[in-house]
Structure 1
């Protein structure tokens, strides 16, 4: 197989879903829906690979037949990952996670999520927020559908 075999197939978009490790029930529901919507659009979902928003979004994508990639702090991740990248870098993996994405969807979240948002914005990667940090640069969204649509760069 040559490199030319890959040139005709477009690369899948990679969207990171970030957020709270201890989210509310409504945030979990939103994350699951975001994951499912991303999978239905053929997007590869990236996450930190652990619990909370990360697991819920991966579950939604996985159950909808999508690709899920976990950029892990250690060797173990949630059960809905189709690909695991074991960085053993703890919080430093956040730079790898957002740097590997075309866009970021933030759902809720604390200071770890804020650091990922900061890395994204500093790198010019758009961030779409659902119940997340209300800071300059984060595009506030009202629904999972709106966040996914905007992250994909589609107005239809």
Structure 2
């Protein structure tokens, strides 16, 4: 069983959907649900930082189509969690340590809103050359991020990976449905 699971994990794309755990904007929560649902329909694995808000909506989107969802918990146990993820990983590493494991387990980072924790996940993905898709204007921090970026799409002059902005969840879904989703 474990070997079969490891083979499945290696063969499928792993997409982390990041955003605020305390998000209440119904449009953003719906976006996370729909994007995760489409990705899971394509047999991609959804990764989140666990908890409520955007991570919870993404988990529910994946599970709505019997997809696989992995939630990385900042706590040292998996009991009593908020999300019904397929798998929960108890990291005992706090919020920032949890983010390192979740991001480094991903092939693509999709950002829907968020604050400083999400910014940490963006920089982790950038350092590890993991493609980053961002829903424009999805939080105050995201609005400021685009103005901060080098040439409007890189964190610094090294140009590790382009940060790609999308004006709607639907445009992200269209790219997920394309054959070459990791090419700009």
**Structure 2, unaligned stretches of length 5 or more?**
155-162
Structure 1 residue 106: deviation in Å?
0.3
Partner of 2:59: 58
CA shift for structure 1 position 26 = 1.1
Report the secondary structure of 1:49's partner residue.
coil
Aligned to 1:20: 20
Question: Between Structure 1 and Structure 2, whose CA radius of gyration is higher?
Answer: 2
How far, CA to CA, are the matches of 1:85 and 1:151 in structure 2? 26
Aligned mate of 2:169, from 116, 122, 144: 144
Unaligned runs of 5+ in 1: none
Alignment check: 8 A CA contact 2:133 2:165 kept:
yes
Q: Distance in 2 between matches of 1:126 and 1:149?
A: 16
Structure 1 residue aligned with 2:41? 40
SS in 1 for 2:121: helix
127-136 vs 63-72, which moves further? 127-136
Comparing 146-155 with 31-40, which one deviates more in the overlay? 146-155
Alignment-derived partner of residue 125 in structure 1? 130
Q: Is the 8 A contact 1:18 1:47 kept in 2?
A: yes
Whether 1:86 aligns to 2:87 is: no
Aligned length: 153
Q: Deviations over 1:45-83 (max 9, x none)?
A: 000111110000100111111000011111243332001
Distance in 2 (CA, whole Å) between partners of 1:122 and 1:150 is 23
Higher mean C-alpha displacement, 79-88 vs 101-110: 79-88
Q: What TM-score comes out, normalization by structure 1 length?
A: 0.86
1:147 to partner: Cα distance = 2.2
Higher alpha-carbon deviation: 104-113 or 67-76:
67-76
Matched residue SS, 2:11: coil
Q: CA deviation at 1:90?
A: 1.3
Counterpart CA distance in 1 for 2:27 and 2:55 is: 14
TM-score by length of 2: 0.74
1:28 partner SS: helix
User: RMSD of the TM alignment (CA)?
Assistant: 2.6
Alpha carbons of structure 1 residues 117 and 152: separation in structure 2 relative to 1, 3 Å: farther
